[in-house]
Amino acid sequence: MSRKSKNKVHAQSKTTGKKTTIFAQNIELEALNQFYSAMRNDFAITGALLPDAHTGYTLPIGGVVGTDHMILPSWVGYDIGCGMCAIPTGFTAERLIPFTEIIYKNIYTTVPTGFNSHVHPAKWKSDHLEKSDVLKQIFNKKGLKQLGTLGSGNHFIELGFDEDEQVWIIVHSGSRGLGHDVAGYYMKMASGDGKAREGHFGFDVNSINGQAYLKDMKFCLAYALENRKRIIDKVMGVIADTIPGQPLARMNKTRLINRNHNHAEFKHGMWIHRKGATQAENGMSGVIPGNMRDGSFIVEGLGNPDSLWSSSHGAGRILGRRKAKQQLSLDQFRETMTGIKAKVTSGTLDESPFAYKDIFQIMDSQADMVKVLHHIKPIINIKA
């Protein structure tokens, strides 16, 4: 068992002399050390560790740090723009449930998952978006074939219903191999020795490299959103082809919620880096997933400055993927998923609800960051 810190701190840090707010309880000591190491940098102004925080690469997942002039690719992470989209469909769970099996099967047929891609490149008008020569090479190699694909790990497609029995489509995915390769390129460049190694390496935002990263990050954010929107369109198509007379026309795309949780932006007088953190400005809509069993939450931000206008991006892991597969019971996983159509196998055991913190406790602990509007309970969950 790793050592944990039981402190909940909302104060001036004695370690760094800067304001750091720690909302996470029983956090791994390694994650806490990562956070304080980041905050010791002269360019780090203030930071927060959110309730789902756990050890990451350089900066903890669930970490938010504001800087005065530096942009750090490793504090955004490898999956630039990874995030959530959600949309209400305008029809009820009662209409969907009889078609659960065929919808589940047809989503897997229609949306490539894991390392799978489309055979033929997709079409996407993106010429208006700036990109560096390096990004152009990466994009031309894999970008269009991976557009509209889910990915692996904790990425998912979910069909679930709210308290009014209305069905929602929820997608968690990111910038796929494009974002990973872009992030790796800039991490190597920032380190100064051509290796993407752990450390607080970055660029001055006004430097040539800093401007190039910001430009390419912005492109990856747009790509990740387009990826999620295309997945939603495909799922809508599956539903339309499956449920007789279902009111597809009533699905209002203006009600689409999009909120990514891996990015950096200049706001509130600083460069806010969010690594596994949901932007939660006052009145801003967001989506916070829980796990395969407990579904997701549609929320409204409360604009809490102590959390750097952020909230958690999920429940947060208590077991890494390898430990989850070693320690968790597949039978217990199957039992807890009764009534939900999902891939419950040894291959997805690392995504068992028991690998995560209690999402209901996480939501309770951030009542001063977000207001819950809807709890979406899952009917179908799609993972690689």
Among 237, 223, 252, smallest CA distance to 122 is for 223
1 pLDDT exceeds 50?
A: no
3-state helix, strand, coil in the chain (%, to 5): 35, 30, 35
Among 47, 86, 71, smallest CA distance to 277 is for 47
pTM to 2 decimal places = 0.94
Among 174, 187, 178, smallest CA distance to 71 is for 187
- What is the DSSP secondary structure assignment for residue 53, as one 8-state letter? E
pLDDT at position 296, please?
98
Angle ∠(128,134,137) on CA atoms, nearest 5: 80
Measured in whole angstroms, the distance separating CA 235 from the mean position of its chain's CA atoms is 19
- What is the β-pairing status of strands 19-22 and 44-54? parallel
Residue 195's pLDDT band (cuts 50, 70, 90): confident
Measured in whole angstroms, the distance separating CA 120 from the mean position of its chain's CA atoms is 27
* Residues 6 or more apart in contact with residue 300 via CB below 8 angstroms: 283, 284, 285, 286, 370, 371, 373
**Token pair belonging to 353:** 């609800």
Angle ∠(43,48,52) on CA atoms, nearest 5: 135
* Mean of all residue pLDDT scores within the chain: 93
**Token pair belonging to 56:** 């990451």
pLDDT at position 7, please?
42
Q: What is the pLDDT of residues 28-81, one digit of tens each?
A: 999 999 999 999 999 999 999 999 999 999 999 999 999 999 999 999 999 999
pLDDT at position 26, please?
87
Q: What is the pLDDT of residues 169-193, one digit of tens each?
A: 999 999 999 999 999 999 999 998 8
Q: Are 107 and 246 in contact (CB under 8 A)?
A: no
In the chain, what are the domains? 4-318+356-382 (3.90.1860.10)
Mean pLDDT, rounded, for 144-149: 97
